[in-house]
Amino acid sequence: MIVAIDGPSGSGKSSAARAVAARCGLTYLDTGAMYRSVALACLRRGVDPDDAEAVAGVARDVRIEFAPAGDGQRVIVDGEDATAAIRTPEVERAVSPVSANPSVREAMVALQRAYGERGGVVAEGRDIGTVVFPSAEVKVFLSASPEARARRRAVQRGGGDLARGRDVPVDAAAERAVLEDLVRRDEYDSTREASPLRPAKDAVRIDSSDLSFDEVVDRIVRLVEAAEGGPHERA
Ligand code: DC
């Protein structure tokens, strides 16, 4: 069973994919973390993210592993725990040109398919249903309005977690800055030549702007159940 969840930043796909994987007994695969890991490795090795050839070399050479930890997952880059380091603003700035690099995509897609071959995967990203796993049994395109996505990201950065019902007050200026960054990244991800963000023709579209986290997860779990032919209990 392969479940592909694509969508823009802040649509809630990471939290939803993690929860769906837990409820359905599948393995969660965060492909955005892979592109972030390549970007981090470039920064650590002093490679300019816009130097396509040097970045391609890093992508072929870097070791990216996922290690289960409690109810989460650690990201190990070249043998070192990089779970927090791949979420910094520096990495966020470097990751757009890195993920638009066709050689990087080729290396990451090969890695993702190797994970998929073991079966039982919920993978989330931008091109999972269109390029990586075009024959996934379940394909979802999860979106939300830019405003709803910016608010979620701002809450997350302030230490809140809307998926777990932990809201925190956020500064309006901080929220606006997140919104501007999101709109810029959306534009970049959707218009790049290599695997632009777009829904697969056969993806089920879910707009999460006005849905609770549990409602989103329930909808996806129902699609998995329909594909598998059996219900999954709530965790
Ligand atoms: O989902 P995220 O914010 O962690 O993704 C980080 C970057 O990687 C983002 O700029 C889009 C890119 N990405 C991609 O191009 N293809 C994927 N399958 C996943 C992420």
CA of 225 to the centre of ligand 1 (A): 27
Task: List all residues whose CB is within 6 A of at least one atom of ligand 1.
Answer: 9, 31-32, 35-36, 95-96, 99, 125-128, 185, 189
- Position 202 scores a pLDDT of 95
The pTM of this model reads 0.88
CA of 233 to the centre of ligand 1 (A): 31
- The alpha helices in 27-101, defined as continuous H runs, are 31-44, 52-61, 89-99
pLDDT band for position 234 (cuts 50, 70, 90)? low
Evaluate if residue 173 carries a pLDDT over 80: yes
Residues 6+ apart with CB under 8 A from 204: 138, 139, 140, 141, 223
Query: What angle (nearest 5°) sits at the alpha carbon of residue 136, between those of residues 207 and 60?
Result: 100
Task: Name the residue of 95, 124, 192 whose CB sits within 8 Å of the most ligand 1 atoms, as the mutation to test its pocket.
Answer: 95
CA 215 – CA 19 distance, rounded (Å) = 12
Looking at residue 126, its amino acid is: R
The mean per-residue pLDDT over the stretch 160-186 comes to: 80
Q: In what order do the strands lie in the sheet with 204-207?
A: 27-30, 121-125, 2-6, 138-143, 204-207
CA 232 – CA 235 distance, rounded (Å) = 9
Residues 6+ apart with CB under 8 A from 168: 155, 158, 159, 160
pLDDT band for position 70 (cuts 50, 70, 90)? confident
- Position 31 scores a pLDDT of 95
